[in-house]
Amino acid sequence: MNVTIVDYNSGNISSVINSFKEVAQDNVNIEVTSDLNKIKLGDKLVLPGQGSFKSCIEALKNIDGLTDTLNEFVLTNKKPLFGICVGLQMFADIGYEETETKGLGWISGKVSKIDNQNGKYKLPHIGWNQINIVKDSKIFKEIKNNSHMYFVHSYEFIPKDKNVISATTDYSSNIVCSIEKENIFGTQFHPEKSDKLGLQIIKNFLNL
């Protein structure tokens, strides 16, 4: 099985690469690339994201044909994709970080700044926080409810259809921290920085 981590110059993704390589069995080949043909031939895709919504969308668009290739992979061929942090946020129709920016539009919704209640909550939200699993998601196999995951973000994804939400976390309000819709998976937290439980989530995605 070929699992492709999309490298589109969105910041340091070495911890993502290392975690997937650590979990991968002998029969799983991890490829890190922005080569469109290699992406098309992959069985599963990982879309990391660091930095702002705007900068990540622009970095994707700077690689000619990449968004079309991703659309084909996810929407037409319905192969599994896992978005991490801003990688998840980009599923949305629109984001409001820095400026209004159009997203990939895979899951209807918007990305807005977390309401920190006039400074009562620090932004960015950094550190370990409990997740509340609200849907029986394939990537939460062997993960107990109220487990702690590692977060770094100031913006949250608010999907229109609440049925796609698989977990939330409580920080200032109930924040969506995991999504599952058919072949599309994503976490707002960083599984690659969430110790053994994070590795279990990666393993669950590889075992889909």
Using DSSP bridges, classify how beta strands 184-187 and 44-47 pair: parallel, antiparallel or unpaired: unpaired
Q: What is the pLDDT of residue 56?
A: 97
The residue to which tokens 């075992």 are assigned = 207
Q: What is the pLDDT of residue 116?
A: 93
The residue to which tokens 């969430």 are assigned = 194
Domain with residue 105: its CATH number is 3.40.50.880
Q: What is the pLDDT of residue 10?
A: 84
Q: What are phi and psi of 182, to 5 degrees?
A: 55, -110
**Domain count within the chain:** 1
Q: What are phi and psi of 74, to 5 degrees?
A: -85, -50
85 is catalytic: yes
Catalytic residue among 97, 156, 180, 192: 192
105 class by beta-carbon count within 10 Å (0-12 exposed, 13-18 middle, 19+ buried): middle
Low-confidence stretches of the chain (pLDDT < 50) are none
Q: What is the pLDDT of residue 25?
A: 86
Q: What is the pLDDT of residue 178?
A: 98
**Domain range for 142:** 2-206
- Give the model confidence (pLDDT) of 11-69 as tens digits: 889 999 999 999 998 899 999 999 999 999 999 999 999 999 999 999 999 999 999 99
192 is catalytic: yes
Catalytic residue among 56, 85, 97, 177: 85
d(CA 101, CA 111): 10
Three-state SS string over 19-39 comes to: HHHHHCCCCCEEEEECCHHHH
Q: What is the pLDDT of residue 8?
A: 96
DSSP 59-81: HHHTSTTHHHHHHIIIIIS---E
Assess whether the previous peptide bond of 124 is cis (omega < 30° from 0).
yes
Could you report how far apart the first and last alpha carbons of the chain are, in Å? 11
Residues 6+ apart with CB under 8 A from 154: 97, 113, 114, 123, 124, 125
